[in-house]
Structures are given as structure tokens and as C-alpha cells.
A and B are shown apart, each in its own frame.
Chain A
Amino acid sequence: MAFRISDMLVYRSMAIFFLSVASFIIFLGTPSLARTVTDQLGRNVTVPDEPRRIVSLAPNITEIIFSLGQERRLIGVTRYSDFPSEAEKLPKVGSYVHLDLEKIVALKPDLCIAIKDGNPIAVAKRLESLKIPVYAVDPRNLKTIMQTVLEIGGLINAEKRADLLVQNMDFRIQKVKSLVSNVTYRPRVFFQIGVSPIVSVGTHTFIHGLIVLAGGTNIAEGPVSYPRFSREQVLGLSPEVIIITSMARAAIFEQVKAEWSKWPDLPAVRNQRIFLEDSNFFDRPTPRLVDGLELLVRLIHPELFKEAE
């Protein structure tokens, strides 16, 4: 027995020795100022502990970083990064669907934040082969936007700010939910994001989620994300509210409104409920989407606010 115990002791001390050597080697192997995280596509990305030179590869990511008050870390953005307006002053690295690889590399970023939908995967792969970490996010609805805000907050050491922002978003969403829970009727909404051709939003879009949350029925719901419609189809669905958010200018809006007004039988026309809204509230997965949600409630259920006032 005694022999065995001493044997075990030897083994144990050997094991401890090897483990400590191994951990020392691992410690040496990892750069001390970086950590490995898993992005929203499930890929392992080694990011710097304190990223100071971030290139944002989409307008909504730029917006999130600004909303976290971390714009000093941003050294490059994509074209159309126009909110907040300070973002427009930053160097541009192409548009988010057609990134300028050389520009990105020339800015010497220590981290790029990409989105799954839109950013060409080839560019992300090449950035990684050039040893520039690419963290990809995939915000698809309010819940994943909040998740994205928290994750980006974690990446750039703004957890507290991110927490506050998400709490605020959550609070406002809950408020809308409780407000809408009383409504008995859900008006038929046609949400028009494209003028020519007429394009609306299907079930798998965040705008659909917003319409439902705001107490409306999306008449364009269906498996196609951005379905095209003929005028006839829309008339057949007889929308009660039409919301147009194309990037069109006011003049074109009047034209579109006049187009719809030719059909006075349309409930939306009869009740004068055709609205033009800033597409930025709706087409970018950012915290501002909550503003969009509150706006939608006012458009779809104005009676809720009349009663309150």
C-alpha cells in the first residue's frame, strides 16, 4: 500500500508539473492583449482587449458604436453612414455591399465589425487572411438588435452603456406592448419600402415584427422577404394604412400618394391614412428601430393617444 501511495504522489506531482508547464506555454502562446470570442455566426474570432482602430462595415454598426459613445474608436465607416451626422466625417471604405479592401487595410484597423446580410463574404475572408479580425453580427429583430448592442458593447468595453441602452429599449418596447394589448382591432397595414417597383416586407423581416408589435396586420406577410407587388394586388388586399418609407424625396412621395389617391375606395385613401416616414427608422437594425416602433403605434392606433391626451 505504502508503495502505491508514494507512486500516486509521484504521478500527481508529475501531473501538476506538466500541467503548469502546459499552462505556461499556453499563456506565452496567446498574445496577452487579445481574447477569443464567438461572433453571431458561431465563428471564433480573436479580438484585441482594447480595440482602438475599428472599421465598421455597415451603417447600422456605425450607429450602434456611436450610440454607445465609443466613436473615438472608429477610424472608418461605409458610405451612407449618415447617422449621427458626425459619422459622415469619418473615412469611407466603400459601400457595405461593395467594400474597398485596400482602403480598409490602409486604415490599419485592429478590428472590423461586419454584418451577415450584405457584406461580401469574400472580403471578410480576405481581411482575416491579412490578420485583421472580423466580428460578424446578424441582427434580425428587436431581440437580436439588443443582443448585438450588448455584444458590441462587450467588444469595445462599453458594457455599462450597452446595458443602459438595452434596458431603455426594453422598457419602451414593454410600454408599447402594454399599450397595444388593449386593442381589439388590428388594422391592415401595407408597408411600402419601394416605389417603383412596389416592394413590401414579408414575414421574415424586422419591419413585419414591428407592425405586429404595433398592433397592425401586415398584409404582405409571406415567405418572400421583400415581395414585389402590382398595384392591382395591393388594391385587392384593401389596406387601411399605407406607410411609405422609400428613400424617395418629398416630390416623389406626393406623386406616389397621388397614385394611390386615384382609388378612393381604398380604405387608406378614404380615411387619409397614407404616410411617408423616414426610412432610417425602419430599414436599419439599430436601437432607433424602437423609435420606429413608437412611430408605427401612433400611425396604426392614433386612438390610443387621443384617449390619453
Chain B
Amino acid sequence: MNTDKPLLIKRLWVVSFSLMLVLLIAMFLGLSLGSSQSGMKAVFQNLFGIEPHDPMLDTIIWKIRFPRILLAALVGGTLSLGGLVFQALLKNPLAEPYILGISGGSAIGAIIGILMGFTRFPGVSLTAFSGSIATLLLILVMSSGQTILKKDALLLSGVMVNAFCGAVIMFLVSLTQDARLHNIIFWLMGDLSMVDMPQVGILAAMLLPCFFLLFWFSNSMNLLLMGKEMAQTMGVNVQAVTVILLVATSFMVSATVSYCGLVGFVGLVIPHLLRLLFGPDHRVLVPACVFGGGAYLVFCDVLARALPDQGEMPAGVITAMIGAPLFIYLLKRTRR
């Protein structure tokens, strides 16, 4: 990585700004579309204070849609980063928190927390975090015959852990008798509609420090991709960095799961796309993932709201419908 420092910084700004612009466009779309069918023009006028204020439109835009798109942006960024980090650490282009079962593990933890009657924060967030750490350990133990993580072994054990998590979730759901069941099912499918501003604030307070932490370690990720020995000689404490990155990522993913359930494949689609566009330098990819992933999930959520005739579908349905075929395509391509 002998890129010129000033050149790198320039690239970083260009990429970040262009993706931020995409995110802003997505957020504007997210603000202007919704089930109440207030026209885009009215929203535009409201945003820039042209028309005399309609208090109802104000409420809908700022108290209902705004927290929702902020949540989508945060979650999208987090999940993309999660995918990026896992792909770098495990040197596997198909690694992603959802496919590896980390999300599923968090979901088990979160459901247990919900059934025990904990509040979203800190109770459910903590049980979700424990669930994700447990699955992470399980995958690492299962896939490491020796110290080297083999590509297929890792992916296979991840898929198995994910299937197991699915079974445990179904078990827990079928145990639940009362009306909470419906809520759990909607939440599981990746529902972004149920958050208000204070909750988004709490989530942001958990996630934003992690974003900076990952950016701090982005060069280490570059070096790790060149091999452990290489990284070691370049002055990276491989073990410490790996542990920090894995724990931070699991924490971020479990936090998003406890707020909006399972949103799959974002961490697969976005890092791949961005790597194609901007190359493999993680110092650029980390901020790119934050903005690009955010924009992607905001777009998916807009689709989730606009597509069904009545009501809306969970955003997780859309991301999976886009992501799963792409996963198969990538799997075929890497096999060659």
C-alpha cells in the first residue's frame, strides 16, 4: 500500500462525498414517500419552508419518516461494514454476518430478552450481543481444524450455524402463545417502522464510535489481507486486531438486530459493489461502506414501502430478494 498520502486523502474525500450525495438523495426519497401519499412536491415545499406549514405533514415527515430513514442509513452502513470486516479477516469474499449466523445468534439472544420482558435498551441489546458472541465463537471453533480458516469450512459451518439459529428461533416463536408473537415475527423479518427518535439516538451512540474504530484499523485490514506473516512484519498485532475487529463487528450487528431484526445480505452486496467501483483499499472502503450501505438500505426501505398495494413489507424481504441471487452468482464466480 504505497499510495501517495495526499492522493489517498483526495480519493477518500471524493468517494465519501459522492456516496454521501447518493445517501442524501436516498434520504430525500425516503422522506417523500410513504403510505399517506402526500406528494413529493408538498414534501419539498415543507423541507425548504416554502409553503405555510402543514403541521400534520410536519409530524409525518419529521416524527415518522425521518427516524425511520436515519435508522435505515445507520443499519445499512453497519451491516455493510460488518460484511467488509468479515471478508477481510476471514479472507473470504462470501463472509457476511447474516450468512455466517451472527445475525441469527443475535436474534436468538434478542428474542430471549424480549420474552423475559426486558426493555430494548440495555436489556435486549445485551442479550443480543451475548448471542452474537456465542455464535461467533461457535463458528470459529467449528471451522478451525488447524489455525488456518479454510474457505469452505468456514462458509459451511456458518451456514450450519445459521440453520441451527433458524431452528432455535422457530422453537422460541412456537413456544410463545400470546400476542407478542406477531410482533416478534414482523421484527424478525427486518422491520424498520417501529423506532422513534430517542431510540435512533441510542443506536447511533452505540454504532458511531464503532465506525470510527473500524476506520482507525482500516490500514491494518489492508495488511491482514496480504497474509498474517506479512502483517506481523509490518507491525500489526494480528491477534489483538482480529479480536478487536470481530468483537466490535459482532457488537454493531447485534445492536442493529435488537432494533430491527434480521436484514440479510446487505453486507454482501455493498462491499462487493464498492470494491468493484473503488478498488480494494480499506481506508476508502470503510467510509464508502458507511455511506453506500446506508443509501442502499434506505432505497430498499423505500421499495418496501412503495411496492405493496396495501400496508408495507419488511425491508429485510427486499434485501434478501436482491442479495441471495447475487450470493449465488458470486459463489459460482469464485469457484472458477
A residues near B, CB below 8 A? 79, 92, 94-95, 97-98, 100-103, 105-106, 108, 117-118, 120, 122-123, 126, 129-130, 224-226
Contact = CB atoms under 8 A, between A and B. Distances in A.
Contacts of A226: 177
A92 B196 contact: no
8 contacts: A97-B182, A100-B35, A102-B35, A106-B56, A118-B179, A118-B182, A120-B194, A122-B194
Contacts of B122: none
A307 to B, nearest CB: 41
Contacts, number: 58
A106 B60 contact: yes
A108 B179 contact: no
Given A105-B56, A106-B60, A108-B56, A97 B34 contact: no
Contacts of A126: 196
Contacts of A103: 35-36
B272 interface: no
In this complex, the member of A98, A102, A226 whose beta carbon has the largest number of chain B beta carbons within 10 angstroms is A102
B35 A130 contact: no
B179 A117 contact: yes
B186 interface: yes
B64 interface: yes
B311 A98 contact: yes
Nearest to B305: A102
A139 to B, nearest CB: 14
A212 to B, nearest CB: 21
Contact of A130 (B36, B59, B186, B310): B59
A98 B35 contact: no
A119 to B, nearest CB: 8
Contacts of A130: 59, 63
B41 to A, nearest CB: 16
A106 B34 CA distance: 10
Contact of B196 (A94, A97, A98, A129): A129
Contact of A92 (B37, B183, B310): B310
Interface string B66-107: 000000000000000000000000000000000000000000
A265 B218 CA distance: 73
A108 B182 CA distance: 26
B186 A98 contact: yes
Nearest to B198: A129
A102 B60 contact: yes
A105 B179 contact: no
B135 interface: no
Interface of B: 34-38, 56, 59-60, 63-65, 177-179, 182-183, 186, 193-194, 196, 310-312
Nearest to A227: B177
Give 3 nearest A-B pairs by CB, closest first. Answer: A106-B36, A97-B182, A117-B179
A29 B36 CA distance: 33
Nearest to B193: A101
A94 B59 CA distance: 19
Given A100-B312, A120-B183, A123-B194, 11 more contacts: A97-B186, A98-B186, A101-B193, A102-B34, A103-B35, A105-B60, A106-B36, A106-B37, A108-B56, A129-B63, A225-B177
Contacts of B38: 106
B311 A102 contact: no
A100 B179 CA distance: 17
B34 A224 contact: no
A130 B64 CA distance: 10
A80 to B, nearest CB: 11
Contacts of B186: 97-98
Contact of B311 (A95, A120, A123, A224): A95
A40 to B, nearest CB: 15
A224 B64 contact: no
A98 B182 contact: yes
B328 to A, nearest CB: 31
A239 to B, nearest CB: 23
A79 B308 CA distance: 14
A242 to B, nearest CB: 23
B311 A94 contact: yes
Contacts of B177: 224-226
Nearest to B55: A108
A121 to B, nearest CB: 9
Given A106-B38, A117-B179, A79 B59 contact: no
Contact of A101 (B64, B179, B183): B64
A76 to B, nearest CB: 11
Contacts of B35: 100, 102-103, 106
A98 B191 CA distance: 10
Contacts of A92: 310-311
Nearest to B67: A126
Contacts of B36: 102-103, 105-106
A305 B1 CA distance: 92
B180 to A, nearest CB: 9
A97 B179 contact: yes
Contacts of A117: 178-179
Nearest to B191: A98
A94 B191 CA distance: 14
A102 B64 contact: yes
A79 B179 contact: no
B304 to A, nearest CB: 12
A108 B54 CA distance: 12
Contacts of A123: 194
Contacts of A122: 183, 194
B196 A79 contact: no
Contacts of B182: 97-98, 118, 120
Nearest to B61: A102
Nearest to A100: B35
Nearest to B311: A94
